[in-house]
């Protein structure tokens, strides 16, 4: 009776909350979605779950609030199935902005589903956990979780979960550029969806198969995407997927009027269904289509009056950076180079804020993953210790001699387990270091691309400004413009060398020689480089780490030994790649060496990751020298 009364009170409170939400007014076209009435004839949990879905993107705080209300209802009902659902909804609400909290609640859902044998629930929980591991670039664990989800989906005959898992696997394979396996995953998902009339999954699979490199012909790609639209129209709740398909078709259309038709179709869905990211993409592409038609005024209105205010309101720095960048192109088209430069600066500032926030989210998620693993190891060790103690007591009651033997065997077993745990922990630390370095390389690659793309706009803007300045001597103006162009070319060359793709375009000797040439120009350092023109075929990961180490050595020389002479000798002999570095700079004391800088730590870590060795020697007034040795090994390819 009390449970029924409590549930009735909760529904009344929920209705009041919903009426208040309806009364709130919003200044933009977007308002919190999912405001509905709840009566005794409707399942409260299902309504709250729908509200979580409707608000998780645009009003995440409201989505979290609904998820917690669902948890309260589930706890009052006392149903394990309802509790698992409520944990999943909280995990779904947190996945936008707090992935570590999302991971925590999905784990609670998995533990409860495991203990209550809710196999069908586990299919979807494992799928969501895999998406979190993918966000942390731990693709190995993500693939393992998706494989488990597939096996369980086949066991309980859940074709929807099966198709979703194959699509997720296909996206992971696509991200690591394993396109053949990615195609197989998407085709398997499509086949499963077609056999079970799952139109949403059919549309998703077809949309993925329409991408390059699966479909090189534009007509075939557009035709496949139109088929995907027809499938998605047959189900409710697929408006976001439909909108993205409209945008993709528009982007492949060479006729700007036809492209605008598809972008406007996507925009209608975005406004109707509260899809801000779709809105940004539609307006951004519409601006370029209007520019192509020469309608600068409408292009500017798409950004200034429509997209940018919404992006500022929801603080979406990722899209703000892109929208500001597009606005800069509009200003360039108008000839307003000063405004173009200002918006390029705003784009860089927004991109930096976005990278910082994503970096914080990644660190928090990785920390949560590592904490959980450490707790699992502690629990396992404690369980093993309890088991050993029980065995000791039982054997002591029987025969003291046998007990002594068992104690000895137990001690030996514990020792072996500790050794294995140490080895496992060391491996996890190395894997973590690899992931951090991979994230650093990805960040450098993104920075290189941004630097490369921005340089042309900056050079154009500055050149245009100088062109409008009246100077007495025209030769001075031309000289300044030439110097600016030279600076732009130098920055582009540096951006090329920051990107790991340089391994595919330059030889090892060209990369090192170019790096030394850059440092000579930038830091005015005297560098005596001795390096052969040709080297054996070196593994890509070795080349990348060796290049970054050399870059770090020259950076330190530019900071602390600017007026000294740097000598570098690089050669390969007996299966070992060797680097000898020395400078006659100020050096440093042994106490400083005990607590090295982050740059020195990176040199030691990179050498360790490829099985190499780094030796540092330095003393005050006697300069600094390094001896670094890398085993050349077999050629492999760096995973992205």
583 with 616: CB under 8 angstroms? Answer: no
Q: How far apart are CA 37 and CA 391, in angstroms?
A: 61
84-98, 397-411, 530-544: range with lowest mean pLDDT? 397-411
Q: What is the DSSP letter of 583?
A: E
Q: What is the pTM of this model?
A: 0.51
Q: What is the mean pLDDT of residues 202-206?
A: 90
What is Dmax (Cα atoms) for the chain?
108
Residue 489 has pLDDT above 70, yes or no: no
310 with 280: CB under 8 angstroms? Answer: yes
- The proportion of the chain whose per-residue pLDDT surpasses 70, expressed as a percent, equals 73
Of residues 1 and 355, more confidence is placed in 355
Of residues 553 and 422, more confidence is placed in 553
If pLDDT is split at 50, 70 and 90, which confidence band does 36 have? very low
DSSP 383-422: HHHHHHHHHHHHHHHH-HHHHHHHHHHHHHHHHHHHHHHH
Q: Which residues contact 279 (CB under 8 A, 6 or more apart)?
A: 30, 267, 270, 271, 306, 307, 310
Residue 389 has pLDDT above 60, yes or no: yes
pLDDT in tens, 456-482: 556 666 666 776 677 666 777 677 767
> What topology is assigned to 510-631 in CATH?
Heat Shock Protein 90 (3.30.565)
> What's the chain's average pLDDT?
78
- The proportion of the chain whose per-residue pLDDT surpasses 90, expressed as a percent, equals 22
Q: What is the mean pLDDT of residues 350-376?
A: 70
Residue 429 has pLDDT above 80, yes or no: no
Of residues 458 and 101, more confidence is placed in 101
Give me the pLDDT at residue 568, please.
93
Residue 194 has pLDDT above 90, yes or no: yes
Residue 116 has pLDDT above 80, yes or no: yes
Q: What is the mean pLDDT of residues 142-169?
A: 91
171-185, 531-545, 570-584, 614-628: range with lowest mean pLDDT? 531-545
Q: How far apart are CA 562 and CA 298, in angstroms?
A: 53
Give me the pLDDT at residue 377, please.
57
Q: What is the mean pLDDT of residues 167-184?
A: 90
3-class SS of residue 614: strand
Give me the pLDDT at residue 503, please.
60
Q: How far apart are CA 536 and CA 575, in angstroms?
A: 9
Q: How far apart are CA 566 and CA 557, in angstroms?
A: 8
Segments making up each domain of the chain, as ranges: 238-298, 315-499, 510-631
Give me the pLDDT at residue 109, please.
87
Please give the structure tokens belonging to residue 557: 């020389």
Residue 35 has pLDDT above 60, yes or no: no
Q: How far apart are CA 449 and CA 438, in angstroms?
A: 16
Of residues 9 and 274, more confidence is placed in 274
Q: Which residues contact 464 (CB under 8 A, 6 or more apart)?
A: 335, 337
Please name every residue paired with 627 in a beta bridge, in sequence order, or none if there are none. Answer: 580, 615
Taking Cα atoms as reference points, which of 299, 294, 259 lies closest to residue 283?
Answer: 299
228-237, 260-269, 498-507, 553-562: range with lowest mean pLDDT? 498-507
If pLDDT is split at 50, 70 and 90, which confidence band does 438 have? low
pLDDT in tens, 297-325: 999 999 999 999 999 988 888 899 999 99
Residue 5 has pLDDT above 50, yes or no: no
1-5, 333-337, 365-369, 565-569: range with lowest mean pLDDT? 1-5
Burial of 542 (0-12, 13-18, 19+ CB in 10 A): buried
């Amino acid at each position: 009776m009390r449970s029924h009364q409590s549930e009735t009170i909760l529904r009344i409170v929920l209705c009041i909350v919903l009426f208040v939400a309806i009364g709130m007014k919003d200044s933009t076209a977007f308002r919190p979605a999912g405001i509905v009435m709840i009566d005794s004839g409707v399942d409260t949990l299902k309504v709250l779950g729908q509200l979580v879905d409707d608000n998780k993107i645009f009003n995440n705080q409201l989505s979290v609030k609904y998820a917690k209300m669902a948890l309260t209802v589930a706890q009052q009902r006392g149903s394990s199935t309802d509790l698992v659902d409520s944990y999943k909804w909280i995990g779904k609400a947190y996945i936008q902005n707090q992935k570590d909290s999302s991971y925590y609640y999905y784990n609670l859902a998995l533990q409860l589903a495991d203990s209550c044998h809710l196999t069908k629930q586990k299919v979807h929980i494992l799928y969501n956990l895999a998406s979190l591991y993918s966000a942390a670039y731990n693709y190995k664990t993500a693939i393992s979780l998706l494989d488990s989800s597939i096996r369980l989906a086949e066991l309980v005959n859940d074709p929807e979960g099966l198709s979703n898992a194959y699509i997720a696997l296909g996206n992971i394979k696509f991200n690591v550029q394993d396109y053949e396996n990615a195609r197989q995953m998407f085709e398997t998902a499509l086949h499963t969806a077609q056999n079970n009339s799952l139109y949403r999954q059919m549309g998703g699979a077809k949309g993925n198969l329409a991408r390059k490199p699966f479909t090189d012909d534009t007509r075939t790609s557009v035709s496949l995407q139109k088929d995907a639209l027809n499938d998605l129209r047959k189900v409710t709740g697929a408006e976001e997927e439909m909108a993205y398909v409209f945008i993709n078709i528009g982007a492949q259309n060479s006729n700007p009027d036809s492209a605008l038709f598809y972008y406007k179709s996507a925009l209608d869905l975005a406004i109707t269904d509260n899809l801000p990211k779709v809105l940004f993409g539609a307006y951004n592409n519409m601006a370029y289509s209007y520019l192509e038609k020469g309608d600068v005024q409408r292009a500017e209105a798409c950004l200034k009056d429509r997209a940018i205010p919404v992006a500022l309101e929801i603080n979406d720095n990722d899209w703000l950076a892109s929208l500001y960048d597009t606005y800069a192109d509009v200003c360039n088209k108008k000839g307003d180079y000063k405004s173009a430069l200002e918006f390029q600066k705003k784009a860089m500032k927004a991109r930096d804020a976005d990278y910082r926030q994503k970096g914080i989210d990644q660190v928090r998620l990785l920390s949560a993953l590592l904490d959980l693993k450490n707790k699992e190891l502690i629990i396992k060790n404690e369980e093993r210790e309890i088991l050993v103690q029980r065995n000791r007591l039982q054997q002591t009651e029987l025969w003291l001699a046998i007990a002594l033997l068992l104690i000895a065997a137990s001690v030996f077993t514990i020792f072996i387990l500790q050794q294995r745990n140490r080895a496992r922990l060391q491996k996890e630390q190395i894997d973590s270091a690899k992931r951090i370095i991979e994230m650093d390389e990805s960040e450098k690659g993104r920075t290189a691309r941004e630097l490369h793309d921005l340089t042309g706009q900056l050079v154009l803007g500055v050149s245009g400004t100088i062109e409008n300045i009246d100077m007495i001597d025209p030769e001075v103006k031309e000289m300044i413009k030439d110097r600016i162009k030279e600076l732009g070319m130098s920055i582009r060359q540096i951006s090329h060398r920051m990107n790991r793709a340089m391994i595919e375009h330059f030889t090892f000797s060209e990369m090192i020689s170019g790096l030394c040439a850059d440092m000579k120009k930038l830091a005015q350092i005297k560098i005596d480089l001795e390096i052969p023109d040709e080297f054996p075929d070196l593994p890509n990961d070795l080349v990348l780490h060796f290049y970054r180490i050399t870059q770090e050595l020259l950076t330190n020389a530019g900071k602390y030994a600017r007026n000294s002479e740097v000598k570098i000798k690089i050669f390969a002999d007996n299966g070992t790649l060797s680097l000898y570095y020395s400078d006659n700079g100020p050096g440093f004391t042994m106490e400083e060496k005990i607590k090295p800088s982050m740059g020195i730590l990176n040199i030691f870590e990179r050498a360790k990751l490829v099985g190499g060795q780094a030796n540092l020697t330095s003393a005050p007034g006697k300069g600094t020298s390094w001896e670094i040795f890398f085993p050349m090994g077999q050629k492999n390819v760096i995973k992205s």
